[in-house]
């Protein structure tokens, strides 16, 4: 797996370790990383400097879980299209043409663009951010390569995850930091926008399950399937932390790149989980 030390990856690593799976984690060379479970083998490899045969260097695994992606602090940065996408393309093309049989990649719900309501996998996509456009371009190329080569592909459109290890700029991390400081008020957006939230630990278990049992699922929403307002979620966190902090709503505007109300359809995901793919 790539991205094993990232926000999602560290939880997926733990989920796979708990299943007794032999895992090889690809991490950036020379980078200080958080400890991974003891059974996981670590290979120091940079995505852009992995050579012509990265699949061989990874030990020719039967499944590649690809979670790595850089520059997530700015979804509109052109580096997603000009830098990250070419690096991802070279690495994954080398793997699929080098003998890989099964590939699972995390995409994003932002691929759907500005659509509102329940979003399902066969909808036409119209991404508006550079990040989502780059992800969607990669997906389209991978689908062509994998179909031509007979490789199983699962592409997960990840909705809104939260939990331990999330970036300090995230709502979850900011909320917890405010509680720890003993802040009296927590500034946030109006909070009435509707999203689809899923704890990262649960998402990691789903990724592990799909990687092991579903070898060619195509596009799948990784979501809860339940529409929830941001304000209701933060109130839930208040209850869990037993905090009296006041929610100062309306201090920040709505993100311009997101629809007001959208959530994922769980029908395909639940069908996959109930059967052997």
For 236-274, write each residue's pLDDT tens digit.
999 999 999 999 999 999 999 999 999 999 999 999 999
The CA distances from residue 232 to 25, 59, 196, 198, 235, in Å, are 37, 46, 12, 14, 5
Comparing CA positions, the residue from 207, 196, 186 lying closest to residue 250 is 186
CA 95/CA 76 separation, integer angstroms: 28
Q: Which two tokens stand for residue 71?
A: 């520059």
Categorize the per-residue pLDDT at 33 as very low, low, confident or very high, splitting at 50, 70 and 90: low
What pLDDT, in 10s, does the model give residues 60-76?
999 999 999 998 989 99
- Whether the CB-CB separation of 129 and 258 falls below 8 Å is answered with no
- Whether the CB-CB separation of 173 and 165 falls below 8 Å is answered with no
Which position has the higher pLDDT, 46 or 126?
A: 126
Q: Number of helices and strands (H, E) in the chain?
A: 9, 14
Helix (H, G, I), strand (E, B) or coil at 181: helix
DSSP alpha helices (H): ranges in 191-266? Answer: 200-213, 230-241
CA angle 230, 209, 116 (to 5 degrees): 30
Categorize the per-residue pLDDT at 20 as very low, low, confident or very high, splitting at 50, 70 and 90: confident
Torsion of CA 66, 67, 71, 73, to 10 degrees: 160
The CA distances from residue 59 to 1, 62, 87, in Å, are 11, 9, 20
DSSP single-letter state for residue 114: S
- pLDDT of 31 reads 60
- pLDDT of 204 reads 97
Q: How far apart are the first and last CA of the chain?
A: 20
DSSP single-letter state for residue 2: B
The CA distances from residue 231 to 14, 47, 239, in Å, are 30, 38, 12
State the average pLDDT for the chain.
94
Query: Looking at residues 20-42, what average pLDDT do you find?
Result: 81
In CATH, the number for domain 7-161+197-225+266-274 is 3.40.50.720
Which residues in the chain are classed under CATH 3.40.50.720? 7-161+197-225+266-274
Percentage of residues in the chain having pLDDT higher than 70:
97
Q: Which two tokens stand for residue 61?
A: 């695994």
What pLDDT, in 10s, does the model give residues 189-202?
999 999 999 999 99
Comparing CA positions, the residue from 149, 162, 272 lying closest to residue 228 is 162
Percentage of residues in the chain having pLDDT higher than 90:
84
- pLDDT of 27 reads 87
Q: Which two tokens stand for residue 232?
A: 């209701």
What pLDDT, in 10s, does the model give residues 128-178?
999 999 999 999 999 999 999 999 999 999 999 999 999 999 999 999 999
- pLDDT of 170 reads 96
């Amino acid at each position: 797996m790539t991205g094993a030390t990232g926000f999602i990856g560290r939880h997926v690593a733990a989920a796979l370790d708990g299943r007794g799976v032999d895992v090889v984690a690809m991490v950036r060379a020379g980078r200080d990383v958080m400890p991974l479970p003891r059974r996981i083998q670590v290979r120091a490899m940079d995505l852009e400097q992995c050579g012509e045969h990265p699949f061989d260097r990874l030990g020719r695994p039967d499944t590649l879980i690809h979670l790595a992606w850089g520059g997530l602090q700015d979804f509109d940065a052109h580096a997603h299209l000009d830098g990250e996408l070419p690096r991802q393309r070279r690495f994954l093309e080398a793997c699929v043409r080098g003998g890989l049989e099964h590939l699972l990649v995390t995409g994003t719900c932002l691929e759907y663009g500005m659509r509102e309501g329940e979003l399902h996998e066969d909808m036409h996509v119209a991404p508006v951010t550079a990040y989502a456009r780059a992800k969607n371009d990669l997906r389209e190329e991978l689908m062509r390569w994998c179909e031509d080569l007979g490789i199983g592909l699962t592409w997960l459109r990840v909705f809104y995850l939260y939990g331990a290890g999330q970036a300090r700029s995230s709502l979850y991390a900011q909320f917890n930091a405010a509680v720890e400081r003993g802040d009296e008020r927590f500034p946030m957006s109006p909070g009435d926008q509707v999203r689809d939230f899923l704890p990262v630990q649960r998402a990691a278990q789903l990724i592990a399950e799909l990687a092991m049992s579903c070898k060619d699922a195509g596009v799948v929403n990784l979501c809860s399937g339940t529409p929830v307002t941001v304000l209701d979620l933060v109130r839930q966190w208040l209850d869990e932390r037993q905090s009296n902090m006041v929610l100062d709503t309306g201090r920040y505007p709505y993100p311009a790149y997101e629809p007001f109300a959208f959530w994922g359809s769980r029908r395909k995901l639940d069908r996959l989980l109930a059967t052997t793919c």
